[in-house]
Amino acid sequence: MSNWLSRLVVAAILLPIVLGAAYLGGWYLFALVALACVIALHEYWLMARGLSPLAPAGYIGAVLALLGAQLSGVGWMLGGALTSFALAFLLKAISEARAGATASVSGTVMGTIWIGVGVGFFILLRHLPEHGVLALYTVLFAVWAGDTFAYLAGRLFGRHKMAPSTSPGKTWEGFVFGTAATVGAAFLILYQDRHDFLSIAQSLVLGVIIAIAGPLGDLFESLLKRDAGVKDSGSLLGGHGGMLDRLDAFLFAAPAAYFAILAFTT
């Protein structure tokens, strides 16, 4: 199966599942987010295995973070994630791995917060009063639009590398087209509710924020993959790579969008 066909098949399967869970919210969304989180963490542990990460502490901290987001909000989400810090120290004390405590504990906590807290913002976006579905859909479609147009424009017109040593495939031409697509998607999705939710100016600013945060999340994962010497975090999603490859932009974009929306609406 070609790379493009593989991408289309995976997208056709996952798109209705993701959008359906986002629409239903509640424990349906929690279950999907938790599954994606566990898979992404597994891929991260494999990439960071040189640091001897303490995976049980990371899994527990991430799940507690998601439960905190689901039941109580951002404060309890952070509290849940920070349990990985104490658990990692406890596990390191009884571990026989040769990697130093600083590397093992730091790698574990970073993965927990980066992935567990990052995906937790899907839940927090969905919990926003009255417009949670709209807010979550905006982030989903804006990031997808940006990724798609950046990829296509980079392949067709890309000449100037954005970060040649970190992610050779990314170009400034792709970034410009991706930014335009991200801002346009945010504007179109939010336009109908411009009098009840975000104004036109606010929707454009939100689009710009997502357009900047998303690629930064992508580049952050690229740095880690370069350290690990791998092209993709996994092969679970065919041409899309691993679960973490599909989540990387969201792990920065979702928190940025959540706090931007709070700033606009409070």
Residue pLDDT tens, the chain, 266 long:
556 677 788 888 899 999 999 999 999 999 999 999 999 999 999 999 988 899 999 999 999 999 999 999 999 999 999 999 999 999 988 877 666 888 899 999 999 999 999 999 999 999 999 999 999 999 999 999 999 999 888 888 878 888 887 787 888 899 999 999 999 999 999 999 999 999 999 999 999 999 999 999 999 999 999 988 888 888 788 767 899 999 999 999 999 999 999 999 98
pLDDT at 192: 94
Pairing of strands 161-163, 167-171: antiparallel
Q: Taking a C-beta distance cutoff of 8 angstroms, is the pair 1, 9 a contact?
A: yes
Question: In angstroms, rounded to a whole number, what is the distance separating the alpha carbons of residues 250 and 210?
Answer: 9
pLDDT at 156: 86
- Give the SS3 label for residue 162: strand
Q: Taking a C-beta distance cutoff of 8 angstroms, is the pair 120, 251 a contact?
A: no
Other Cβ atoms less than 10 A from the Cβ of 115: the count is 27
pLDDT at 2: 57
**What phi and psi values does residue 170 have, to the nearest 5 degrees?**
-90, 135
